[in-house]
Amino acid sequence: MELNEKSNSGHKRKRKSADNTLKTLRRLLAVISILLITPLFLDFTGTWQTLFGWMAKIQFLPAVLSLNVLVIVGLLVLTVLFGRLYCSVICPLGIMQDGFAWFGKKAKKNRYSFSKAKSILRYLMLALMIVSLIAGISSMVAILAPYSAYGRIVSSLLQPVWIWGNNLLASWAENHDSYAFYQVEFWSKGYGVLVVAVTTLVILAILAWRNGRTYCNTICPVGTVLGFFSRFALFRIVIDKSKCVDCKLCSRNCKSACIDIPAHQIDYSRCVACFDCIGKCNKGALSYRYVGLSPKSTDSTDNSNVDGSRRQFLTVGALLGTSVAASAADKFVDGGLATIEDKKIPERKTRIAPPGAVSLRNLHQHCTACQLCISACPNGVLRPQTDIENFMQPESSYERGYCRPECTRCSDVCPAGAIKPLDAIGKSSVQIGHAVWVKANCVPVTDGVECGNCARHCPTGAITMVESDNGLKIPAVNTEKCIGCGACENLCPARPFSAIYVEGHENHRFI
Helix, strand, coil % in the chain, rounded to nearest 5? 50, 10, 40
**DSSP letter string, 237-294:** EEE-TTT-----TTGGG-TT--EETTTTEE-TTT-----HHHHH-SS--EEEEE--S-
Q: What is the pLDDT of residue 23?
A: 87
pLDDT (mean) for 401-413? 93
Burial class (CB in 10 A: 0-12, 13-18, 19+), 247: middle
Q: What is the pLDDT of residue 88?
A: 95
pLDDT for 199-219, tens place per residue?
999 999 999 999 999 999 999
pLDDT (mean) for 433-443? 95
Beta strand residue intervals within 32-152, DSSP E: none
Of the pLDDT bands very low, low, confident and very high (cuts 50, 70, 90), residue 178 is confident
In this structure, of 73-77, 135-139, 328-332, the range with the lowest mean pLDDT score is 328-332
pLDDT of 55 strictly over 60: yes
Rounded Cα–Cα distance for residues 258 and 273 (Å): 11
**What pTM does this model have?**
0.82
- Measured CA distances, 294 to 224, 245, 268, 306 (Å): 19, 25, 11, 12
Rounded Cα–Cα distance for residues 346 and 495 (Å): 11
CA-wise closest residue to 128 among 199, 223, 220, 256: 220
Rounded Cα–Cα distance for residues 237 and 293 (Å): 13
Q: Both ends of the chain: CA-CA distance in Å?
A: 86
pLDDT (mean) for 267-287? 91
pLDDT (mean) for 303-326? 49
pLDDT for 189-198, tens place per residue?
778 899 999 9
Q: What is the pLDDT of residue 314?
A: 52
Rounded Cα–Cα distance for residues 301 and 270 (Å): 18
pLDDT of 86 strictly over 90: yes
pLDDT of 301 strictly over 80: no
Rg of the chain's alpha carbons, rounded to an integer? 28
Q: What is the pLDDT of residue 3?
A: 46
Do 404 and 74 touch, CB atoms closer than 8 A?
no
* Mean pLDDT over each residue of the chain, to the nearest integer: 86
Q: What is the pLDDT of residue 218?
A: 94
Q: What is the dihedral of CA 405, 185, 178, 333, to 10 degrees?
A: 90
> HSE of 77 in the Cβ direction (CA atoms, 13 Å)?
6
Burial class (CB in 10 A: 0-12, 13-18, 19+), 203: middle
Of the pLDDT bands very low, low, confident and very high (cuts 50, 70, 90), residue 318 is low
Of the pLDDT bands very low, low, confident and very high (cuts 50, 70, 90), residue 274 is very high
Q: How do 394-396 and 382-384 pair as beta strands?
A: antiparallel
CA-wise closest residue to 364 among 418, 320, 434, 428: 418
pLDDT (mean) for 2-9? 50
Rounded Cα–Cα distance for residues 127 and 121 (Å): 10
Q: What is the pLDDT of residue 335?
A: 41
